[in-house]
Amino acid sequence: MTIERALISVFDKTGLDTFVPGLVEMGVEIVASGGTAAYIEELGLEVTHVDELTEVPELLGGRVKTLHPRIHAAILARRDFKDDVAALEENSIQPFDLVCVNLYPFQQVAARKDVREEDAVEMIDIGGPAMLRAAAKNFLHVVPVCSAARYDSVLEEIRERGEIPLVTRRELAAEAFAHTAAYEASIAAWFADRETFPARLLLSLEKVSDLPYGENPHQRAAYYAEAGARRHLLSRVERLAGPEPSFNNLNDLDAARAVLREFTVPACVIVKHANPCGCALASGIEQAYTKALAADPISAYGGIVALNRRVGRPLSERLAEQFIEVMIAPTYSDDALGVLREKRGLRLLEDRERRVGTSVERDYRRVLGGVLVQDADAEVDDREGMTVVTKSQPDEATWGDLLFAWRVAKHVASNAIVLAKDLQTLGIGAGQMSRVDAVRLAVEKAGELGHDLTGAALASDAFFPFPDGPELALEAGVRALIQPGGSKRDSEVVQAVDSAGAAMVFTSRRHFRH
């Protein structure tokens, strides 16, 4: 089929300045709606306005433009059906061979902070999806185009072949239906945000990039972001050096950035296999890195380093001494970049994202045939609502260590134990089936690394069912513990801590992470 007549109706005019002239050069007649027609005329090209075909002006402030039988019959007519062709001839309707449509930017508008409901509603496109779906349905006879990224290839195929082959039309139809489905899903999600958990949850995801492989080389993988999300894992993150991040890199990066969001003072977190293996706060970012690395330099090998302050040359030289898979920071000095770009294989990322995410976040866990959905555990805990349950009271420095360890423990796989002192992790027990084993692992790791646990703080992501876990820690020198409480044997646990002259805080909030 040759391309003789095209219908164009787009909100985003990007690329039309080359696409439309290209079609016109090949003798294609252009029909366009409202603003699109005006734009094409500004290019000095001849265009037929939609209302010239419908003989009905735009109505309701532009809400009704293309919703007319003369438009949709021209799109939906099957050229190999005699009755369809006869109906067109009887009503003097000339069919469209190509339909180029993109939609109102509902996602972008609705994602704005404090957007008015009426403004979001006006960005719900009606005519655009109808035309695009009609063209996609009739792909045997019509070329549906919904992305400016396709303009050049469409023009090239028409020039080379004089038509768009069926295989390409089928691909374009799939893109069109995916586009309208994502669009409708984003609208449904916007309305559903008024409900805690709606009866039907629709997710609209857009591919950000293909990945080399998944968790293992035999698994294919890609990274998708939620359509319309105010921010996502890689939004405004620029890769300054190194290869594309892998599946595991991105998973670890998400874990590292989640820990980093807990703190506003200079902080460094080092993540390995989605668990922090070293985290520290300090008065300066160089000292924070020193402490985080010293927490567990063995596990830090090949990990991800995340910093929340600018990296200068002195720190870059120290970082260059380590094997690091991925590094992310808000910014780097020019000479620091020069040093780090010499590190072969280092994925060097700069986080330029300054926007705050939406207040409503959901956490999705894929299970067989479905998804578990919950609120994200994203709140930053402070002392308000926490209770000291022992005779001994933590001093201010100890409170600092307790809160620091507690915030890190939230991001450690359960069962989770974090030992800390002077705002530095000293030992972490992650992913253990037994909480006492998690304590034992954290204590043993601290000892193996030469850390002195005298006066250290311990955080447990869930309650201690028995006194044995705290007793192990107390024997090692821990003098303050923080945990949710809620065990049937809380009184026994508190008594054990009291007997050692140590302090314990109940948070009344659990932080399981499975």
Q: Which residues are catalytic?
A: 137, 273
Longest dimension (CA), the chain: 97
In three-state secondary structure terms, 336 is helix
Q: How deeply is 287 buried, as exposed, middle or buried, from its count of CB atoms within 10 A (0-12, 13-18, 19+)? A: middle
Q: Rounded distance, CA 461 to CA 282, Å?
A: 24
Q: Rounded distance, CA 437 to CA 440, Å?
A: 5
- Whether 348 contacts 244, CB under 8 Å: no
Query: Shortest CA distance to 104 belongs to which of 30, 193, 9, 174?
Result: 9
- Whether 403 contacts 510, CB under 8 Å: no
Q: Rounded distance, CA 26 to CA 155, Å?
A: 9
Query: Shortest CA distance to 351 belongs to which of 235, 514, 228, 205?
Result: 235
Identify whether 251 is preceded by a cis peptide bond (ω within 30 of 0).
no
Q: Which residue shows structure tokens 């668990």?
A: 275
Q: Which residue shows structure tokens 């989605």?
A: 274
The token duo for 251 is 């998973």
Q: Which helix (H) or strand (E) holds 134?
A: helix 127-137
Amino acid at position 109, single letter:
V
Q: How deeply is 460 buried, as exposed, middle or buried, from its count of CB atoms within 10 A (0-12, 13-18, 19+)? A: buried
Q: Rounded distance, CA 21 to CA 436, Å?
A: 72
In three-state secondary structure terms, 489 is coil
Q: Rounded distance, CA 324 to CA 312, Å?
A: 17
Q: How far is CA 250 from CA 99, 240, 387, in A?
A: 38, 16, 37
Q: How far is CA 348 from CA 241, 285, 291, 340, 371, in A?
A: 5, 17, 21, 8, 33
- Whether 360 contacts 379, CB under 8 Å: no
Q: If you ran DSSP here, which 8-state letter would residue 244 be given?
A: P
Query: Shortest CA distance to 404 belongs to which of 434, 431, 383, 430?
Result: 383
Q: Which residues pair with 326 in a beta bridge?
A: 304, 347
Query: Shortest CA distance to 39 belongs to which of 64, 13, 18?
Result: 13
